Amino acid sequence: MRQCRIILKVTELNLGERRKRQLEQNSDVTFGNVRKSFGDLEVLKGISLEIRRGEFFSLLGPSGCGKTTLLRILAGFEFADSGEVKLRGQDVTQLPPNQRNVNTVFQNYALFPHMSIWDNVAFGLKMRKVAALEINSRVEKALETVEIASKARNKPAQLSGGQRQRVALARAIVNEPQVLLLDEPLSALDRKLRANLQVELMRLQSRLAMTFIFVTHDQEEALTMSDRLAVMNRGVIEQLGRPEEMYEHPANAYVAKFLGSSNTIAATVIAANRVKTAFGELETECDLPASGEVTLAIRPEKISLSRTQSSNLNTVAVKITDEIYSGAMDAYRVKTSDGTELEVSAMNIGEVMLDFETGETLYASFPTHKLILLEAHTKAEIT
Amino acid sequence: MIAKTNKPRAKKVTASNTVGGEVLNPIQVLARAALTAGPGVIWITVFLVIPSFILLAFSFLTRDDLGGVTRPFTPDNYVRFAGWDILGFDPVYLEILGRTVLVSLVTTLFCVLLAYPVAFFIAAHGPKGRNTWLTLVIVSSWTNLVIRTYAWMIVFSPGTPVTELARVVGLVKAGDGLYPSDFAVYWGMVNTYLPFMVLPLYTAVERVDWSLLEAAQDLYASKIQAFVQVLLPQTLPGLVAAIILTAIPALGMYVVPDLLGGAKVSLIGNSIAQQFGTSRDWPFGAAISFLVMGLTLLVLYLYARRAGEEGMRDLL
């Protein structure tokens, strides 16, 4: 999938075009105005969403935003209060989980402790009364796909977290579901293992050409892995799109802050391309309204710091209040003369001229095309 | 078996002379061992090991004319149990033993059938409800066994509402009581041992990972299939523990069959009580006791061999 996109960009192959059109035509999962409440708490406030066939789709949001509930409604563990859920055109809103052609990889893996790895993976096929010979070959293939075939005779308790994760994956994909649901499957693993499994999941997804719906609260994970993602907040979808769209053009302050970090700047429009902020005037390429208050945002890595003032355009004198060293990146907290705090980050490339100390006074410049105009209210606030 | 796995790997520094890094002389090691393990060892020696050896010794001795224990050493008691007596071959004790095993197993079976729903029922409640229901399960065993058994005798005697109901349904003839009968014996036994079955089963059911039910349904299992193939197997260790906790004490029960069965139903427990009591034949009573104990240990040993270390740990 992701490879396809790259090919498309570079050479504009017909194959890629066709694949892309195909993706857009075939919707695999459709949520139509899905609402769900638990007691007085409305966790889903009318979610409408289309997920395309064969895409890696992520639902991203903090805990309690409703992403897991949405996934559980698709799996059939919960039922929507109103609205409809369709799987390849078939209305499955009221169907029990065992009659839906979707499989879930659970956060805690939910492997059956009394069964061997082999029996765990074969469970779904046995339940569907697949012929024994076919079960054998499919289970073997699934175990090989996730590279855990050598542990087939072991019990889940004898496996490490990462290995259990692979088994959970094999147990789901062996059934060749229309849609694979992944409920924060990597959150229990350590960082290094998680990064490896991320890559493996992406490869697996493009090889199987299966629709993956991935629930996570980890923005980095969602940005890395997804073809498209939806950022959720208090039961609504704040924004939906491709990772680079979402990161470069967040719709509002919530998305801007949730996907990476962001500086938000309150400003007043004073001309077609100029705003006035607490620390001076800024020029921007955003489509500004004719007048009034606006909120602009800029990513920390897009502000550049220097000891000399190279130009007057969008350059502000700042003082470094904190320096946070984190290996590859240097993060700085800086303060403008009026006291506005900003976050700035820079690659740690080891150049003396870019190695700033706390207390130094520097010039921060805001590239005009890197300033983003945000919507004043989040969708959660409006609903 | 368990201690083996806990042994530190480093063999050169023997565990006995270093404790938490400090080096101790042998006397200190001994003193520490005596202080920690000592009380338990003394307790078990005085109340279990010594009496067992006395019992074992008695079982090879002979009853004297006044009901005391005297020499010569002889295996006669065991031969007598097997059925050979001065009067010839009559395997009456083997029959009693067989009947006892049967009663114990049937009691256990009824307990399992009753306790499973109860365990699931209790586990389905919140923490507060669980405590209430568990207390209700245990509370009946707070009454003294003999008193409780007498109470059942009254309940099952002729003319009581329960007996009248049984008469109307056609279970007993007019004028008869529900006791003494096999029914009353089983009723009393199940009543006695049900808590011992419910508690370990409840513990097992409470530990069941209910999210696996969803996983099973996600993998196309119906609710019943998910329950039978995924939830029930998880309770098996608890079930084995519960069966052992019920079946073994049930083997030795004598109050309930004695009272609720009238004189008709004699179990091995009654035989032992009789030998130590009215018959005043301690050596023979000791021999029966040892045989029952041996039988129990043999079954446990066979189970342990089959289930392995893991199974035994679940059990303990």
Query: Could you tell me how many CB contacts below 8 A there are between chain A and chain B?
Result: 58
Pick the residue of A107, A120, A123 with the most B CBs within 10 A to test the interface with B by mutation: A123
| B210–A contact, CB cutoff 8 A | no
Q: What pTM was estimated for this model as a whole?
A: 0.74
- Nearest chain B Cα distance for residue A214, angstroms: 16
- What value does the mean pLDDT take over residues A66-81? 94
- Nearest-by-Cβ selection for B234 from A99, A113, A123: A113
Distance CA A116, CA A119 (A): 5
Between chains, do B221 and A110 touch, taking CB under 8 Å as contact? no
Quick check: is B189 in a domain? yes
Between chains, do A103 and B219 touch, taking CB under 8 Å as contact? yes
- Nearest-by-Cβ selection for A98 from B211, B222, B233: B222
Alpha-helix residue ranges (DSSP H) falling in chain A: 2-11, 14-25, 67-75, 117-127, 132-145, 161-173, 191-208, 219-225, 243-248, 253-258, 379-382
Task: Please say whether the dihedral angle defined by the alpha carbons of residues A44, A46, A52 and A53, taken in this order, is positive or negative.
Answer: positive
Quick check: is B254 in a domain? yes
Full domain range(s) for residue B292:
76-308
Task: Please say whether the dihedral angle defined by the alpha carbons of residues B206, B209, B210 and B213, taken in this order, is positive or negative.
Answer: negative
Distance CA A84, CA A31 (A): 6
Lowest mean pLDDT among B115-119, B198-202, B265-269, B290-294: B265-269
Q: How many other C-beta atoms can be found within 10 angstroms of the C-beta atom of residue A24? A: 12
What pLDDT score does B19 carry? 56
Distance CA B54, CA A305 (A): 92
- What value does the mean pLDDT take over residues A50-66? 92
Between chains, do B219 and A127 touch, taking CB under 8 Å as contact? yes
- What value does the mean pLDDT take over residues A205-211? 88
* ipTM of the prediction: 0.77
| B213–A contact, CB cutoff 8 A | no
* Chain A residues in contact with chain B using a Cβ-Cβ cutoff of 8 Å: 75-77, 96-99, 102-104, 106, 108, 110-114, 123-124, 127-128, 171, 175
**Directed axis angle between helix A132-145 and helix A161-173, to 10°?**
140
pLDDT at B281 over 70: yes
Q: What is the pLDDT of residues B47-96, one digit of tens each?
A: 999 999 999 999 898 888 777 877 788 888 888 888 787 777 888 888 88
pLDDT at A12 over 50: no
Between chains, do B219 and A123 touch, taking CB under 8 Å as contact? yes
- Nearest-by-Cβ selection for B225 from A76, A77, A127: A127
pLDDT at A1 over 60: no
What pLDDT score does B187 carry? 92
Q: What is the pLDDT of residues B133-192, one digit of tens each?
A: 999 988 888 888 899 999 999 998 888 888 888 888 877 777 777 878 888 889 999 999
Q: What is the pLDDT of residues A255-295, one digit of tens each?
A: 998 888 899 999 999 988 889 999 888 988 888 888 889 99
Quick check: is B42 in a domain? no
Distance CA A235, CA A46 (A): 8
Residue B177, domain CATH:
1.10.3720.10
Quick check: is B147 in a domain? yes
- Nearest-by-Cβ selection for A114 from B211, B214, B233: B233
What pLDDT score does A25 carry? 59
Q: What is the pLDDT of residues A302-331, one digit of tens each?
A: 998 888 887 778 899 999 999 888 888 888
Q: How many domains does chain B have?
A: 1
Quick check: is B218 in a domain? yes
pLDDT at A74 over 80: yes
- What value does the mean pLDDT take over residues B17-40? 78
**Residues of B whose CB is below 8 A from A99:** 220
What pLDDT score does A16 carry? 56
| Residue that is written with structure tokens 């469970």 in the block | A123
Q: What is the mean pLDDT of chain B?
A: 84
Quick check: is B244 in a domain? yes
Pick the residue of A68, A95, A112, A138 with the most B CBs within 10 A to test the interface with B by mutation: A112
What pLDDT score does A339 carry? 87
pLDDT at A6 over 50: no
Confidence of residue A4 (pLDDT cuts 50, 70, 90): very low
Within 8 A by CB and 6+ apart from A162, the residues are A189, A193, A197
| Residue that is written with structure tokens 């209430």 in the block | B132
What pLDDT score does A312 carry? 77
Quick check: is B257 in a domain? yes
What is the β-pairing status of strands A90-91 and A102-105? Answer: unpaired
Between chains, do B217 and A96 touch, taking CB under 8 Å as contact? yes
Q: What is the pLDDT of residues B207-242, one digit of tens each?
A: 888 889 999 999 999 999 998 999 889 888 888 889
Phi, psi of B92 (to 5 degrees): -65, -40
Name which residue leads in pLDDT, A4 or A381: A381
Kindly identify which residue of chain B lies nearest to residue A177, measuring between CA atoms: B219
Kindly identify which residue of chain B lies nearest to residue A74, measuring between CA atoms: B218
| B234–A contact, CB cutoff 8 A | yes
Quick check: is B15 in a domain? no
Pick the residue of B217, B218, B227, B310 with the most A CBs within 10 A to test the interface with A by mutation: B218
Answer whether A73's CB lies under 8 Å from A79's CB: yes
pLDDT at A48 over 90: yes
Terminal CA-to-CA distance of chain A, rounded, Å?
34
Kindly identify which residue of chain A lies nearest to residue B232, measuring between CA atoms: A114
